[in-house]
Amino acid sequence: MSNVNNPFLQENNLKYNVKPFDKIRTEHFMPAIESTMATAKENITVIKNNTATPDFENTILALETCSEDLDTIIGTYFNLYSAESDGQFKELAQRISPMMAEFSNNIILDEVLFEKVKSVYENIDSLNLNNEQIRLTEKKYLGFVRNGANLDEIKKIELRKLNQELSKLSPQFSKNVLDATNDFELHITNKVELSGLPESALSAAENSAKLKGKDSGWLFTLQMPSWLPIMKYADNRKIRKAISTALGTLSVGGKFDNSGILKQIAKLKHAKAQLLGFESHADYTLQERMAKKTDVVMAFLDEVKETAMPTAKKDVAEVSLLAKELDDIDDFSSWDFIYYSEKLKQKKFDYDEEELRPYFKIENVFDGIFTIANKLYGITFKQLTDIPVYHSDVLVYEVTNDNGDFVGLFYMDMFPRETKRNGAWMTTFREQGLYKGEIIRPHVSIVANLTPSTPDKPSLLDLSEVRTIFHEFGHALHGLLSDCSYQSLASPNVYWDFVELPSQIMENWLLEKEALDIFAKHYETGETIPQEQIEKIKSVQHFNAGYQSTRQVTLGLIDMAWHTQDTSFVESVEDFENSIIEELRLLPKVEGANTSCSFGHIFGGGYSAGYYSYKWAEVLDADAFELFKEKGIFNQEIAESFKNNILSRGNTAHPMDLYLKFRGQKPDPKALFRRDGFIK
């Protein structure tokens, strides 16, 4: 294919240099990657052959910018891989991932390059560098060391093999989870079987059936907006069990089995860590985390467990007692917990989450969160209709500050489809920082799978979906408000156990009347959400908090178990997982089910030895929001401090130093326990 017809290899004259999604096709990626990789290799050769004394510009900065075009294309590919891709598109990952692994290895294991980087690092005090230049130099040097630059040639060859194998396995793990998710359908033709389901869920399921070519009935899938109403409201215990079992056994056995793949991933990561001089993958990973050491993470998880477990046991006992009272359930199981929790919530608080949906029309939610961002950080969102998008669901906004200066582009892609993986996430199509010799502004995207509209009703969200928007929008603000010199240091490229602070702190505004009054308006009448509904929302915040915390600890322990030891001895994934979480089990074990086989965060994403960071960041956000509560949730001085010391700074300093500048004290775990109602 000629460069003339390849949008990646043509001059981009579009507004803000946006991606020409309307012109990008699957067949464009490989030629573009091969072409830009060749250019990147030429740039590397120039760095190596430079006879001048290594310094920041000719070595560190040159490495930072050597593969700008390649990185842009690779980022675009993997963003589309998750958000909008068919089987043919996904197959490319088996070619692209090994190519990129080899490219990275050839840089990081090159002795000439390392000696140049090492020379700059060792002479850093004499080079008159500013703080960001020093930080970038330190990060480049550590990146070489952590990725094997000090290994002998035999070990470097071994490391290359490990990296190549891992580069193929993680995409395959993710693909299996997505394929298994899409493979499941529950088609119900008798409406009597769907007793208890709200009209919103029935309408969505009926629409899904029509879209799938069914003559009649209601179709349910393993996309969250489809399965969650079943688990919450379906009186039919058999249907709840079918959905629950399908979720619990996702990619366990069958044609999309991940058990062998995940064992191999864990084995290879352990081997790689040991090759690099670490006891385990967790020790290797945590060197670049706030927690720093495995025993710190385990102690933290243990503290949360000990604090939450008594409440968690009470939570489950109370729900199971209601199941016995209402329906004489003696064998209370995982497919009963959510359903009877909703019943208990209604009984104790007169709370029905479905009553809130009319107040959470998705357009109103985004208008509201844009207003909140404006009140906090002085930025404005304006929808653009002349920007190419990769799917008709995607909306694009221009973000500007109070001076009218361009802050960045914001993409949002909110509804489920078969070409999109499950869950919700934030990503970037262009990171803030140096590019082509200029400091550029970012293009940020959030992607989710929320309740779509139907022919009868607009998209009306439940509270958990609104919370998802606030969470991912917090990540987006982190990316949009970044103000760094270099892309690799820009937000949100921070320590993994710090990156969730900007997202999780945003969730707090959702529970404040002052914020809810901005956007929670009935989609038909325009009336603001009644005070009694706000009181109900606040009253249920401690409901099942013990259970939810224990669930997070359980996931954190599963993650650490796979990554703190050599797991070559593991034969049965199910048995291994059970041995780790038995003392935390709150509901009866389901035979054949396990979490690991669909645990995309740790086997398909970047959270290996890092899932604890969700709870870790909850401590940070609870402690930080106490300051907002004390001074006012829209206090300009505190918001400006959070923006200048946290959101804009990226990885230009250690996160604890940044946090101390904002908060004036180290984060206090008791702030989280107070918020969850475990202590007063």
- Tens of pLDDT, residue by residue over 608-660, are 999 999 999 999 999 999 999 999 999 999 999 999 999 999 999 999 999 99
Q: Pick the last residue of a domain from 220, 249, 278.
A: 249
Indicate whether 50 and 199 sit together in one domain: no
DSSP secondary structure, 330-352, as one string: SS--HHHHHHHHHHHHHHHH---
Indicate whether 604 and 578 sit together in one domain: yes
Residue 416 lies in a domain: yes
The answer on pLDDT for 2 being more than 70 is no
Over the stretch 94-116, which tens digit does the pLDDT of each residue have?
A: 999 999 999 999 999 999 999 99
Region for residue 653 given its phi and psi (left: phi exceeds 0; alpha: psi -120 to 50; beta: otherwise): beta
Over the stretch 201-221, which tens digit does the pLDDT of each residue have?
A: 999 999 999 999 999 999 999
CA angle 317, 673, 556 (to 5 degrees): 75
3-state secondary structure of 433: strand
The residue to which tokens 């062998």 are assigned? 260
Q: For residue 126, with 0-12 CB atoms within 10 Å meaning exposed, 13-18 middle and 19 or more buried, which class applies?
A: exposed
**Residue 227, beta-bridge partner list:** none
Q: Pick the last residue of a domain from 249, 271, 299.
A: 249
For the chain, give the percent of residues with pLDDT over 90.
94
Indicate whether 557 and 487 sit together in one domain: no
Residue 268 lies in a domain: yes
3-state secondary structure of 387: coil
Indicate whether 413 and 300 sit together in one domain: no
Indicate whether 370 and 506 sit together in one domain: yes
Using DSSP bridges, classify how beta strands 443-447 and 406-413 pair: parallel, antiparallel or unpaired: parallel
Mean pLDDT for all residues in the chain: 95
Identify the pLDDT of residue 522: 97
Q: What is the CATH number of the domain that holds 448?
A: 1.10.1370.40
The answer on pLDDT for 197 being more than 70 is yes
Residue 667 lies in a domain: no
Indicate whether 232 and 146 sit together in one domain: no
Q: Please, where are the H alpha helices in 350-462?
A: 362-377
Interval 154-166 mean pLDDT: 94
Report how far residue 598's alpha carbon sits from residue 41's, in angstroms, rounded to the nearest whole number: 37
DSSP secondary structure, 127-163, as one string: S---HHHHHHHHHHHHHHHHTTTTS-HHHHHHHHHHH
Own/partner long-range contacts of 136-145 (Cβ < 8 Å, ≥24 apart): 136/60, 136/61, 136/64, 136/485, 136/486, 136/488, 136/489, 137/56, 137/60, 139/488, 139/489, 139/651, 140/60, 140/63, 140/64, 141/117, 142/288, 143/108, 144/108, 144/113, 144/114, 144/117, 144/118
Over the stretch 567-598, which tens digit does the pLDDT of each residue have?
A: 999 999 999 999 999 999 999 999 999 999 99
Residue 126 lies in a domain: yes
By the 8 A CB rule, do 556 and 611 touch?
Answer: yes
Interval 531-542 mean pLDDT: 89
Q: What is the CATH number of the domain that holds 597?
A: 1.10.1370.10
Interval 218-242 mean pLDDT: 96
Indicate whether 393 and 503 sit together in one domain: yes
Report how far residue 246's alpha carbon sits from residue 442's, in angstroms, rounded to the nearest whole number: 39
352 pLDDT tier (thresholds 50, 70, 90): confident
Report how far residue 343's alpha carbon sits from residue 319's, in angstroms, rounded to the nearest whole number: 9
Report how far residue 511's alpha carbon sits from residue 520's, in angstroms, rounded to the nearest whole number: 11
Cα 260 from chain centre: 25
3 pLDDT tier (thresholds 50, 70, 90): low
Residue 639 lies in a domain: no
Over the stretch 423-456, which tens digit does the pLDDT of each residue have?
A: 899 999 999 999 999 999 999 999 999 999 988 8
Indicate whether 17 and 43 sit together in one domain: yes
Supply 472's token pair.
Answer: 């991912």
Supply 556's token pair.
Answer: 């954190």
Indicate whether 7 and 45 sit together in one domain: yes
Q: How many Cβ atoms sit within 10 Å of the Cβ of residue 107?
A: 20
Over the stretch 355-365, which tens digit does the pLDDT of each residue have?
A: 999 999 999 99
Indicate whether 58 and 116 sit together in one domain: yes
Report how far residue 552's alpha carbon sits from residue 531's, in angstroms, rounded to the nearest whole number: 31
Residue 641 lies in a domain: no
Per the annotation, the verdict on 472 as an active-site residue is yes
Given the residues 132, 465, 472, 512, the one annotated as active site: 472
Residue 643 lies in a domain: no
Cα 542 from chain centre: 24
Indicate whether 362 and 485 sit together in one domain: yes
* Number of folded domains that form the chain: 4
Q: Pick the last residue of a domain from 556, 581, 611.
A: 611
pTM, full prediction = 0.88
Supply 348's token pair.
Answer: 């104790």
The domain in which residue 230 lies consists of: 184-249
Indicate whether 602 and 562 sit together in one domain: yes
Residue 136 lies in a domain: yes
Interval 160-171 mean pLDDT: 93
Interval 321-338 mean pLDDT: 97
Identify the pLDDT of residue 422: 86
Identify the pLDDT of residue 593: 96
